[in-house]
Amino acid sequence: MRVKFVQSGGVVGAMRGCELDSSSLPPEEARELESLVRSSGLSASGEFLTPAARDLRLYEIHVESGAGSVAVTFDDHSLPERARPLVSFLRRNAKPQGRE
C-alpha cells in the first residue's frame, strides 16, 4: 500500500507532506498504516471542502492498494472523524515541502 499525503493552507500556508509505502516501513508501522487506512472510511475519491471557509488547513490523501486507488481532499472542518487518526499518523511523518 502506498499513501501520499500533503497538508497545505492554514494561516501560514506552509506545505508538509510524505509518501509512505507499507512494503518499506518497519512491520509494526506498516500494520498501523494499513489499519488506519482501512478504518478511515476513505472509499471514494473526491474533494470535500467547506464552502466559504478561510484559512483552513487542507489535507490531500492519495491511497494506492490492491483494492484500487482513492484520492481525497478535505479541510479542517470537513475531515471525517473516522479519518482523523490516519491524518494524525500522516502528519507525524510529514516533512516540509517546497512549493511546486
Query: Do 5 and 61 meet the contact criterion of CB atoms below 8 Å apart?
Result: yes
Q: Three-class SS of residue 50?
A: coil
pLDDT at 98 > cutoff 80: no
pLDDT in tens, 4-50: 999 998 777 789 999 999 999 999 999 999 999 999 999 999 999 99
Nearest 5°: the CA angle 56, 1, 38 is: 65
Q: In which band, very low, low, confident or very high, does the pLDDT at 99 lie, cut at 50, 70 and 90?
A: low
User: Hunting for cell 482513492 — which residue is that?
Assistant: 70
Query: Do 23 and 42 meet the contact criterion of CB atoms below 8 Å apart?
Result: no
How far apart are the C-alpha atoms of 72 and 56, rounded to whole Å? 16
Mean pLDDT in residue range 76-86 = 96
